[in-house]
């Protein structure tokens, strides 16, 4: 009896994973690249405060550093997870039309979501630095966590609306 229940649960999890595999991998890539950007930004903002006391500049430059880490890492991870999707099965060659289409969809999805993230991150980071209630690295981390929560909802809705992943 218990084995039947465990087997049924396992099969349901497998079915769920197979159905949403692309979304799961997409979010995994965002989270992994985001973690590296998160800690890179926290380290940078702490070091930056030793050289410049302008909190707005600190917030802006830290965001740039985070993007410098996040975007290339996400692009690499996304490519590694999806490179087989861009091969024409009949010829074995790259399907450039599909690549171009997906790049357009990614740009559309990320444009709005990144704008939302940037405004939230800079605003929260700046305000926390201004308040002097937290250390600079804490201000960066808190700003990033709140902005990431908003971003993850936004990017998933955008990717779904752009129909980046085809239904299985």
Supply the range of the domain harboring residue 75.
22-162
* Residue 143 counted as domain residue: yes
Pick from 136, 143, 120: nearest CA to 54: 136
146 in a domain, yes or no?
yes
Q: What is the pTM of this model?
A: 0.82
Helix, coil or strand: residue 93: coil
Flag whether 3 is in a domain.
Answer: no
* Bridge partners, residue 87, by sequence: 94
Q: Give the distance from CA 74 to its chain's centroid.
A: 7
- Cβ(76)–Cβ(138) under 8 Å? no
In a domain, 36, yes or no: yes
Tally of domains within the chain: 1
Structure tokens at 57: 């500049």
Inside any domain, residue 88? yes
- Identify the helix (H) or strand (E) that includes residue 50: none
Angstrom distance (rounded) from CA 99 to CA 21:
19
The tens place of each residue's pLDDT in the chain, 168 residues long, gives 677 888 888 899 999 998 888 899 999 999 999 999 999 999 999 999 999 999 999 999 999 999 999 999 999 999 999 888 888 888 888 888 888 998 899 999 999 999 999 999 999 999 999 999 999 999 999 999 999 999 999 999 999 888 888 755
Residue 43 within a domain:
yes
Q: Is residue 44 part of a domain?
A: yes
Residue 17 forms part of a structural domain: no
Residues 69/37, Cβ–Cβ less than 8 Å: yes
Query: How far, rounded to the nearest angstrom, does the alpha carbon of residue 35 sit from its chain's CA centroid?
Result: 9
């Amino acid at each position: 009896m218990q084995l039947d229940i465990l087997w049924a649960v396992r099969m349901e999890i497998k079915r769920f994973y197979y159905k949403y595999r692309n979304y799961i991998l997409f979010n995994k890539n965002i989270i992994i690249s985001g973690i590296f950007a998160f800690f890179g930004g926290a380290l940078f903002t702490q070091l930056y405060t030793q050289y410049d006391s302008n909190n707005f500049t600190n917030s802006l430059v830290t965001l740039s550093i985070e993007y410098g880490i996040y975007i290339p890492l996400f692009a690499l991870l996304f490519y590694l997870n999806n490179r087989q999707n861009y091969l024409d099965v009949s010829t074995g060659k790259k399907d450039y039309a599909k690549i171009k289409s997906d790049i357009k969809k990614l740009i559309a999805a990320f444009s709005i979501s990144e704008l939302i993230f940037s405004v939230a991150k800079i605003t929260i980071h700046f305000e926390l630095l201004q308040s002097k209630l937290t250390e600079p690295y804490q201000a960066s981390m808190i700003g990033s966590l709140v902005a990431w929560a908003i971003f993850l909802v936004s990017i998933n809705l955008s990717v779904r609306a752009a129909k980046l992943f085809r239904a299985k």
